[in-house]
Structure 1
Amino acid sequence: MAMTYVGGVAPIVTTYGPGNLHHMAYSVSASVSGLIDVMGFIPTSNEGVSHFVLGFSYAYAGYAFYWDGAGDASFRIGNSTQTNVVGNSWANATGVPGNGEIILGLNVASTAKAAQDRGDGPSKTIAYRIPDDLN
């Protein structure tokens, strides 16, 4: 799958029903000193469709996310029409582990155990809820 976060293009996640979108930013290299791996989630009680954009910082090389909601979740990159299913746990996440390719079913459970959990809300993680009308 094409490189993400190039030219400011980020994944857009579409979810159905209430749940939590979890997002983690992590260093995939021990050479990045002082960088703390962080994770958090954004809850939604929306019974319908919700959209989120996953932000990024160039300080981190790896990103992963998953949906634990009542319904399905999918993602696309920017304005692409290609969609893919979002993972449902840190052991089966969707991620970009530093090589630029999106991997479905990425196991980042051990990384998540060591990451700083910042809790819920957009100020706690690099993900934001966006308006329903994306046109």
Structure 2
Amino acid sequence: MTYTNGIAPIVTVRGPGNLHHLSYNSNGGIVNCVGIMPAPVAANATNAVTNFLLGFAYSFTGYAFYWDGAGPAFWRVAGSQFAEPVGTSWSAATGVPWGNQIDLGLNVESEVATAANEDNEVIAYIIPGGLD
């Protein structure tokens, strides 16, 4: 169960690109937060794999993300072997809101429009060595 007992989604990507992450629908009046986290690979390293752990805060009830790289991206819950493709834009994002109502192809453009930009400061962490 996502977000239960600290279990968060893991996004696995191949090659260079950016993971875009949105935290929205604050239950405490906090402004939406959006930003990118680049995969730390050289532009020509098309087979390099990066694993991102998506953090969360109990102040938000909505989370969405997408990958803009040339290579594939999949997400799963930590500890699970079941993986699904990641969205490719804010109009077709992967939504993992609180309560496990997973939404593939979620349109969150209106939430992004009101979000504070936090490029390279979003709550996404790179897992070293592919650990999870």
Same fold (TM over 0.5): yes
Give the whole-Å Cα distance in 2 for the aligned partners of 1:114 and 1:76: 28
TM-score when normalising by structure 1: 0.87
Partner of 1:53: 53
Give the whole-Å Cα distance in 2 for the aligned partners of 1:16 and 1:110: 29
TM-score when normalising by structure 2: 0.89
Of residues 73-82 and 40-49 in structure 1, the stretch that sits farther from structure 2 once superposed is 40-49
Provide the secondary structure at the position in 1 that maps to 2:52.
Answer: strand
Q: Any unmatched runs of 5+ in structure 1?
A: none
Partner of 1:6: 4
Aligned alpha-carbon RMSD (Å): 1.5
Identical-residue share of aligned pairs (%): 49
Q: Any unmatched runs of 5+ in structure 2?
A: none
Give the whole-Å Cα distance in 2 for the aligned partners of 1:56 and 1:63: 8
Tell me by how many angstroms 1:133 deviates: 3.1
Provide the secondary structure at the position in 2 that maps to 1:125.
Answer: coil
Provide the secondary structure at the position in 2 that maps to 1:88.
Answer: coil
Provide the secondary structure at the position in 1 that maps to 2:53.
Answer: strand
After TM superposition, the runs of 4+ consecutive aligned structure 1 residues lying more than 4 A away are none
Instruction: Judging by fraction of residues, say which structure has more helix.
Output: 2
2:36 to 26, 41, 50: 41
Of residues 106-115 and 90-99 in structure 1, the stretch that sits farther from structure 2 once superposed is 90-99
